[in-house]
Amino acid sequence: MEKKILLLGGSYGQIPAIKEANKRGLYTILCDYLPDNPGRELVDIYFNVSTTDKENVLKIARDHQIDAVFAYASDPAASTQAYVSKALDFPGNSEKSILLLTDKSEFRCFQRKNNFNVPAFQSFSAHGFQKLESLNIDFPVFVKPVDASDSKGVFKVENINNLKEKAEIALSFSRCGKIIVEEFIEAKGGILHGDAFFLDGEMVFCMLGDQILYSKVNPLKPVSTLYPSRYPDAQISCIESEVARIVKKSGFKNGPLNIEVRVNENGSIFIMEIGPRSGGDLTPEAIGYCSGFNMLHSTYDFLFGKPVIVENRQSYPTLLYSLHSNRAGIFKGFELNNDLKPFVKEEQLFVKPGENVKPFSEPGSTLGVLILSFPDFDVAYVYLDNLYHSLQESVKLA
């Protein structure tokens, strides 16, 4: 009998999960609140239902007698996956562990309670804005919605004068009406970002890369990540141990995790975020080209009760780059420099010629994703010196 899977989210960044399901011959059911999502064209049946509408998603799951539910690269939908999995007795994670990892305020409280390094922080609701004036954290600070991702509503604030304005904007991106203001941790060796995979609470794979913040119009939104990280192996092992310790105490058991880490000038490790899902915009695919470990394939194997085989071959330096524009305009196309073409593994555009383009300072402004893999770091760094200017020029706007 044909197996059925309910997929939560059909954005461009979630299409790899749909394609993997189709490759496996699964009957695909999709929920997404956006009626023009690109994933709807690739599935057997589509429902215009929000992935955070737990009761309606569960009803669809029961009506169609699904065999698995999957929220790929989505924090909000991860909670729904856990909710449906528990109701239908599917393998997965507790909703409690998912909510802990996806609420920035709850996560910071958890870190502090369990003696992890944690930036100084305070949380505020819409009714508590008057308390912003008595903030007891040294500037600069980060202001963030507690429940948003993809750098939406995130600001670095240098002084008290701009705090309320940025806090109000951040609040507009929060579904639960809450923000967090926290100490800015300077990352001495750069920000680390990547994915890990857990089985029965044990880390079986982890790959971290060096994040690059290059955009002139949004210096807080990552433009690219180079895998693997150039941090020393001993430092990476310490970071992996801290991640594993957090995961064990959180109650999370199985599947992919998306990780962001900063190490300060004293060598102290700060786990800034752990998302209970794969990284977005082809992060697992880039890691796969680098390491040989297929995160998506392994996730499907777990969901359907098959053995998860962890492969990890020699690392090939791999760059994940978010195509973007520093200004608004009309998209004309993308013309890659010929010198770079031999290194391209994947190219995925999220916009079509003639469509409007937002500057990278706004949410939903990523134009596409490029994955380049190099034979070694020596070759990679030859191209990296001029790569960002070249790729910026490759995006054509009217």
The 155-157 sheet, strands edge to edge: 121-125, 178-183, 141-145, 155-157
Same domain, 172 and 198: no
| Helices and strands counted in the chain (H then E) | 10, 19
30-66: pLDDT as tens digits: 999 999 999 999 999 999 999 999 999 999 999 999 9
Domain at 154, CATH number: 3.30.1490.20
For position 387, what pLDDT does the model report?
Answer: 80
- Could you tell me which residues are beta bridge partners of residue 203? 198
Same domain, 199 and 258: yes
**Among all chains, which residue has been given the structure tokens 């020699």?**
314
Q: Which two tokens stand for residue 114?
A: 């369990």
- With 90 as the cut, is the pLDDT of residue 208 above it? yes
- With 80 as the cut, is the pLDDT of residue 128 above it? no
Same domain, 52 and 174: no
Q: Which two tokens stand for residue 156?
A: 């670095």
The parent domain of residue 33 ranges over 4-90
Same domain, 73 and 54: yes
Same domain, 62 and 148: no
pLDDT confidence bin for 117, thresholds 50/70/90: very high
- With 70 as the cut, is the pLDDT of residue 215 above it? no
Q: How far is CA 67 from CA 20, 76, 149, in A?
A: 15, 21, 28
For position 312, what pLDDT does the model report?
Answer: 65
Which of 328, 343, 345 has the alpha carbon at shortest distance from 287? 345
244-265: pLDDT as tens digits: 999 999 999 999 999 999 999 9
149-165: pLDDT as tens digits: 878 899 999 999 999 99
Q: How far apart are CA 215 and CA 207, in angstroms?
A: 24
Same domain, 72 and 129: no
Q: Is residue 282 part of a domain?
A: yes
Structural domain tally of the chain? 3
pLDDT confidence bin for 384, thresholds 50/70/90: confident
Sign of the C-alpha dihedral computed for residues 322, 327, 331 and 334 taken in this order: negative
Across residues 160-189, what is the average pLDDT? 94
The 395-397 sheet, strands edge to edge: 356-357, 329-334, 395-397
Q: Is residue 99 part of a domain?
A: no
- Residue 368 φ/ψ region, left for φ over 0, alpha for ψ in the -120 to 50 degree band, beta for the rest: left
Angle separating helix axes 75-87 and 95-102, nearest 10 degrees: 170
For position 132, what pLDDT does the model report?
Answer: 86
Same domain, 236 and 373: yes
Same domain, 357 and 212: yes
58-91: pLDDT as tens digits: 999 999 999 999 999 999 999 999 999 999 999 9
Same domain, 287 and 217: yes
For position 49, what pLDDT does the model report?
Answer: 98
Same domain, 145 and 202: no
- Residue 281 φ/ψ region, left for φ over 0, alpha for ψ in the -120 to 50 degree band, beta for the rest: left
